[in-house]
């Protein structure tokens, strides 16, 4: 169930970052929520793409809430340490890998750069509690999670995301997920070829 990998659906992530940058420009506090982050490759991918596009100085204003129900109780340690086996890092472009990963103490494992890791905080959280982990998010990412919920649960969870977003904030989900009709009036679809939405 926690299938995930680094640089998954890069198309959506790059489009999101392109639209997000003007929105967060000049803010000294930017909050991002990755809901259903699994072992962390997704929020770390978004963080790396952001760092590449905004520079390390501005990137320090960003704080990620990476959350998951984490039924195995193993994700917190992995996300917090930011240490992954080399096998799981093969999709990362070589120049990005060189720049953001250093060998860890364990042979065959690499650790994500401190500047990225320090902006990531993991919280164990059940989306179906419908209690948000924070507010005023500039971006909420929830990919490959909503498909596991009943249609009425999906509506309630996306409504919770809407309430937790800053005015004009962004929400992304996976390509195959559609915005429920009941909520369509709350979001503007930003592009045709990705499930990228802006809070109205």
Ligand X SMILES: C[S@@+](CC[C@H](N)C(=O)[O-])C[C@H]1O[C@@H](n2cnc3c(N)ncnc32)[C@H](O)[C@@H]1O
Phi/psi at 79 (5° precision): -65, -40
Smallest distance, Å, CB 17 to ligand X?
Answer: 16
Separation of CA 98 from chain center = 22
Q: Residue 78 or residue 128: which is nearer to ligand X going by CB?
A: 128
For residue 126, the SS3 value is: coil
Smallest distance, Å, CB 67 to ligand X?
Answer: 7
How would you label 155-193 residue by residue, b for 16+ Cβ within 10 Å and e otherwise? bebbebbbebbbeebbbbbbeebebeeebeebbeebeee
Residues near ligand X (CB under 6 A) are: 1-4, 8, 36-38, 42, 68-69, 126-128, 143-145, 148
Smallest distance, Å, CB 127 to ligand X?
Answer: 4
Q: Residue 60 or residue 156: which is nearer to ligand X going by CB?
A: 156
Q: Residue 27 or residue 148: which is nearer to ligand X going by CB?
A: 148
Q: Residue 96 or residue 128: which is nearer to ligand X going by CB?
A: 128
Query: CA triplet 186, 190, 193: central angle to 5 degrees?
Result: 125
Smallest distance, Å, CB 88 to ligand X?
Answer: 12
CB 16 within 8 A of CB 189: no
Q: Residue 58 or residue 89: which is nearer to ligand X going by CB?
A: 89
Smallest distance, Å, CB 26 to ligand X?
Answer: 29
CA dist 59 and 20 (Å) reads: 13
């Amino acid at each position: 169930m926690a299938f995930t990998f680094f640089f998954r659906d890069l198309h959506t992530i790059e489009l999101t970052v392109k639209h997000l940058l003007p929105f967060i420009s000049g803010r000294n506090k930017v909050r991002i929520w990755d809901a259903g982050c699994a072992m962390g490759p997704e929020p770390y991918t978004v963080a790396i793409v952001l760092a590449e596009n905004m520079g390390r100085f501005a990137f320090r204003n960003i704080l990620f809430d990476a959350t998951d129900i984490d039924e195995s109780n193993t994700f917190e340690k992995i996300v917090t340490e930011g240490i992954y086996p080399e096998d799981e890092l093969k999709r990362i472009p070589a120049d990005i890998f060189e720049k953001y990963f250093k060998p860890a103490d364990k042979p065959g494992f690499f650790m994500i750069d401190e500047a990225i890791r320090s902006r990531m905080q993991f919280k164990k959280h059940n989306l179906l509690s419908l209690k948000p982990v924070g507010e005023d998010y500039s971006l909420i990412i929830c990919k490959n999670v909503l498909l596991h919920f009943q249609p009425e649960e999906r509506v309630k969870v996306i409504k919770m995301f809407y309430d937790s977003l800053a005015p004009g904030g962004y929400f992304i989900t996976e390509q195959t997920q559609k915005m429920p009709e009941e909520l369509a009036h709350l979001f503007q679809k930003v592009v045709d070829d990705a499930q990228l939405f802006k809070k109205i």
